[in-house]
Amino acid sequence: MATIVPEVRSFFHAKINAIIPPPVAPAVVLTVPDVDTEDEVGALRPSPGTIEHAEGQSFVLHYKDADGNISTRSVSVWAIRHTGAGIPVLVARCYLRKATRYFRVDRIEAVADFDGVVIEPTSKFLADTFGVRWPPSGPELAATAEFQVRWSRLRKICRENGAALLTAVGLADGELVPDEVGAILDFVAKCCGRVSFDCGQRENDRLRLYIRRLRPTPELIDRAVDHMAQSDPATVVETLSACVRVMEADGHIHPAERKMLDAFSQAMTGLPLQYP
């Protein structure tokens, strides 16, 4: 397995272990109940037609647990599961508890971005972000299933071409700015063109949110680097070139971005990038 240099792994471990999400508006106060009982979701099972790996989509939840306790949590969602009764469950990292928690979608009362803007309605947020339709209905389920097939393919294109690495480069200086997001979207569009995948406006909008909410962990980065190291040389060069464009997008080359690119290049090709 190709592994990024220890210094880069340490950098991301520090960011994940001590992460403080972007400031939440004063109107949104983060809380956890005094008694933080995990929901009794039973044996969670993989769910056909839903996203198995949500890859760190991050936001704030206003949540009522099984005991009726109300909390407002900043979370990063890593997977979607179902209860035995078929209710979707978000498997997420709770930053206040610093632990993994389960959040049933039928108990989510509101969702906000880290800037405090409430996303309404919650049902649309769940459908657009995770392909989860709740509460379910016949025609909507059919439309969601069709869109989810296309969204799953788009996420696969992102994974196979190292989009998570581009996002990691953009976040290396502590902030993913709109120009960097735009550079990542341009790269994904080119990758879609190579496999004749026509990305529609709804998918573009969802992809933009997907990129903005990604918080790559060292493990996710290692998997992406390992996959790219086994790709053909042309794909590796194109991905590294796209990383450079992301690094340059905000007009400032941060030392952490340069160091990360060298580590990626070393792991994929055996040589540092040696950016001028």
Q: Is 116 left (phi over 0), alpha (psi -120 to 50) or beta?
A: left
Q: In sequence order, what are the beta bridge partners of 70?
A: 64
Looking at residue 230, its amino acid is: Q
Give the DSSP letter of residue 45.
B
| Averaged pLDDT, groups of 10, the chain, 276 residues long | 56 50 53 68 60 77 85 89 80 87 90 83 85 72 68 88 93 91 96 92 86 83 88 91 94 89 88 75
Q: Cα(25)–Cα(160) distance, rounded to whole angstroms?
A: 36
Residue spans of the domains in the chain: they are 6-16+147-269, 24-136
Indicate the DSSP class of residue 251: S
If we measure between CA atoms, which residue out of 195, 156, 216, 186 comes closest to residue 4? 216
Question: Which positions ≥6 away from 47 have C-beta within 8 Å?
Answer: 80, 81, 82, 88
Residues 6+ apart with CB under 8 A from 54: 77, 78, 79, 80, 90, 130
Tokens of 161: 């071409």
Tokens encoding 258: 């340069």
Tokens linked to 214: 């990604």
pLDDT of residue 8: 56
Measured between alpha carbons, how far is residue 27 from residues 94, 136, 189 in Å?
20, 31, 37
Helix (H, G, I), strand (E, B) or coil at 143: helix
Query: Rg (Cα) of the chain, in Å, rounded?
Result: 19
pTM of the model: 0.63
Q: Which CATH number fits domain 6-16+147-269: 3.30.43, 1.10.10, 1.10.150, 1.10.3680?
A: 1.10.3680
